Chain A
Amino acid sequence: MQIVFYILKRILQTVPLLVIVSLLSFFIIRLSPVDPLADLRLNPSVSKETLARETQRLGLDKPIIVQYAKWALSFARGDLGVTSNGERVSVKLKERIPNTLLLTVVVIFLTWVVGVPLGIAAAVNWKSNFDRLLTILTSIGMAIPSFFFAVLLLIFAVKTGWFPVGGLTSANFHGMNFFQKVWDITHHLVLPVTVLFTISLAGLQRQMRANMLDVLESDYVKFARAKGLSEFQVIYKHALRNALNPMITLLGFEFAGLLSGAALTEYVFQYPGLGRLILEAVLRSDINLVMASLMIGAVMLIVGNLIADILLLLTDPRIRAGANV
Chain B
Amino acid sequence: MFREVWQNLMKDKFARAALLVLGLIYAALLFAPLIAPYSKDFSDRTMAYVPPSKIYTIDENGSLSRPYTYNWVREFDENTLQITCVPDRGQKHYLQFFKGGKIVSVKDGGRLFLLGTDINGRDVFSRLLYGGRISMTIGFLALLILFPIGLLYGGISGYFGGKTDMLMMRFAESVMSIPSFYLLIILASILPSGMTSTQRFLLITVILAMIGWAGFARVVRGMVLSIKNQEFVQAAKSIGAGRLYIIVKHILPQTTSFVVVAMTLSVPSYILSESGLSFLGLGIQQPDASWGNMLKEAQEFTNIIYRPWLLTPGFLIFVAVLCFNLIGDTIRDVLDPKSKVR
Listed in ascending order, the chain A residues whose CB lies under 8 Å from chain B are: 16-18, 20-21, 24-25, 28-29, 31-34, 135, 139-140, 142-148, 151-152, 154-155, 158-159, 165, 206-207, 209-210, 213-214, 256, 259-261, 263-264, 267-268, 275, 278-279, 282-283, 285, 290, 293-294, 297-298, 301-302
Asked if A29 contacts B179 (CB within 8 A), the reply is no
Q: Is B331 an interface residue (CB 8 A)?
A: no
Option from B170, B178, B325 in Cβ contact (under 8 Å) with A25: B178
B193 surroundings in chain A (CB, below 8 A): 33
A140 surroundings in chain B (CB, below 8 A): 322
Nearest residue, chain A, Cβ from B276:
A264
Asked if B179 contacts A297 (CB within 8 A), the reply is yes
Asked if B189 contacts A301 (CB within 8 A), the reply is no
B268 surroundings in chain A (CB, below 8 A): 143
Asked if A151 contacts B182 (CB within 8 A), the reply is no
Asked if A33 contacts B170 (CB within 8 A), the reply is no
A132 to chain B, nearest CB (A): 10
Asked if B340 contacts A213 (CB within 8 A), the reply is yes
A-B contact pairs, 21 of them (CB 8 A): A18-B174, A21-B174, A24-B178, A25-B178, A25-B186, A28-B187, A32-B189, A139-B326, A145-B318, A147-B295, A148-B298, A151-B304, A206-B341, A210-B339, A260-B182, A264-B181, A278-B185, A282-B189, A290-B186, A294-B182, A301-B178
B175 surroundings in chain A (CB, below 8 A): 24
Listed in ascending order, the chain B residues whose CB lies under 8 Å from chain A are: 170-171, 173-175, 177-183, 185-187, 189-190, 192-193, 268, 272, 275-276, 279-280, 295, 298-299, 301, 304-305, 311, 314, 317-319, 321-322, 325-326, 338-342
Option from A143, A207, A259 in Cβ contact (under 8 Å) with B318: A143
A34 surroundings in chain B (CB, below 8 A): 189
Asked if B280 contacts A279 (CB within 8 A), the reply is yes
B305 surroundings in chain A (CB, below 8 A): 155, 158-159
Nearest residue, chain A, Cβ from B340:
A213
Nearest residue, chain B, Cβ from A19:
B174
Asked if A275 contacts B187 (CB within 8 A), the reply is no
A108–B4 alpha-carbon span in the complex (Å): 38
A186 to chain B, nearest CB (A): 23
Known: A158-B301, A256-B179, A260-B179. A24 touches B189 (CB 8 A): no
B177 surroundings in chain A (CB, below 8 A): 17-18, 21, 298, 301-302
A302–B179 alpha-carbon span in the complex (Å): 10
